[in-house]
Amino acid sequence: MNLWSRLKMNLENGLDPKDLSERRSDKSLTGERQIDGYEGAGQAEFQVDDRPIEPEGRKLNRPNIFKWVLFLLFLAYMLVSYYHAPILVRLGRYLVVEHPIKKADLIVCLMGKPVERGLAAAEVYKKGLASHIFVGREKLPDGNSILVKKGVHYPEGRDLLIMMLQGLGVPRTACITGDRFVEGTIGEAKVVREVARKRGCRSLIIITSPTHARRAWLTYRKVFEKNRMKIMLMPSRYSNFKPEDWWKTSEYVKEVIIEYQKLLYYTVKHFW
């Protein structure tokens, strides 16, 4: 159907040609608006976000961290509670060093705990394992010079130990000592080295306490490393220290802690 036929039909139907042209123009405007809307929507939809992309990791909040800390503390407590006895026993046994005792040239009774060590020294002497016992001279206590000025006799530690040895059946002639003061295990070992050299000793029996045995053994081995001296350590059996339950007695808890501190100090300063 051509344009003239359509106009003729519109006239017959009572439609004005101006109205028809207005309708067409309205339709064209509506189409343009729809196209503009599609373009705007496309621009909005495909707009590029230039903000930096941050990784999305799992963040632990404080309650979760606190729960993990409590769990680890509980686990550590259970492990220590279950294994504390074997660990403590090993710590106690490590300090105790004991060698097979054979006949030697000299018994050395270390200062520190005179009763338990003196009993062991007298026992070894009476078995005929050595003919003499060396007793070191400890440093005098503060204020001793004032006692001397006032004419007051204060017995030294070596005098008390020799007196005890005599009471246990060791003759005074079998007890030897020196005038040089000893301070610490390392100082006492150096004095013993001088005495052994003068007497021509080739073997020593060292009497000490169980907790002190490891440090004494390492110290005398270090001091005599160039002298080819045979050293035998004998911890006193008259001590009540037991590696199996030492942590149950406050006295031995303190003693073991201090001994490990001294062992660490000696290792750093003397043994390396």
Tell me the per-residue pLDDT of 14-33, one tens digit each, with 9 for 90 and over.
545 555 455 554 544 444 44
Distance CA 109, CA 49 (A): 88
For position 126, what pLDDT does the model report?
A: 97
What's the mean pLDDT in 107-120? 96
Tell me the per-residue pLDDT of 29-83, one tens digit each, with 9 for 90 and over.
444 444 454 444 444 444 555 555 555 555 555 667 777 888 888 777 677 666 7
Tell me the per-residue pLDDT of 216-263, one tens digit each, with 9 for 90 and over.
999 999 999 998 899 999 999 999 999 999 999 999 999 999 999 999
What's the mean pLDDT in 200-208? 97
Distance CA 25, CA 107 (A): 130
Q: Compute, in degrees rounded to 10, the torsion defined by CA atoms 208, 105, 130, 139.
A: -40
Query: Average pLDDT over the chain, rounded to whole?
Result: 83
Give the other-Cβ count within 10 Å of 248's Cβ: 10
Distance CA 170, CA 125 (A): 7
Query: What does the block give as tokens for 18?
Result: 């101006």
For position 231, what pLDDT does the model report?
A: 97
Q: Compute, in degrees rounded to 10, the torsion defined by CA atoms 143, 149, 152, 157.
A: 50
Between the alpha carbon of residue 132 and those of residues 159, 172, 224, the distances in Å are: 16, 10, 20
Give the other-Cβ count within 10 Å of 21's Cβ: 10
What's the mean pLDDT in 162-183? 94
Question: Would you give the DSSP letter of residue 212?
Answer: G
Q: Which amino acid type is present at position 225?
A: E
Tell me the per-residue pLDDT of 212-227, one tens digit each, with 9 for 90 and over.
999 999 999 999 999 8
CATH of the domain spanning 113-271: 3.40.50.620
Which residues are CB-neighbours of 267 under 8 A, at least 6 positions away? 218
For position 69, what pLDDT does the model report?
A: 82
**Structural contact between residues 226 and 254, judged by C-beta atoms closer than 8 angstroms:** no
Distance CA 95, CA 138 (A): 24
pTM of the model: 0.71
Distance CA 211, CA 78 (A): 29
Query: What does the block give as tokens for 44?
Result: 């909005």
Q: Which of 219, 263, 209, 213 is nearest to 239 (CA)?
A: 209
Give the other-Cβ count within 10 Å of 187's Cβ: 16
Q: CA Rg, the chain, in Å?
A: 49
Parallel/antiparallel/unpaired status of strands 133-138 and 106-109:
parallel
For position 63, what pLDDT does the model report?
A: 64
Query: Cα 135 to chain center, whole Å?
Result: 36
In the block, tokens 């999305």 appear at 56
Distance CA 45, CA 41 (A): 6
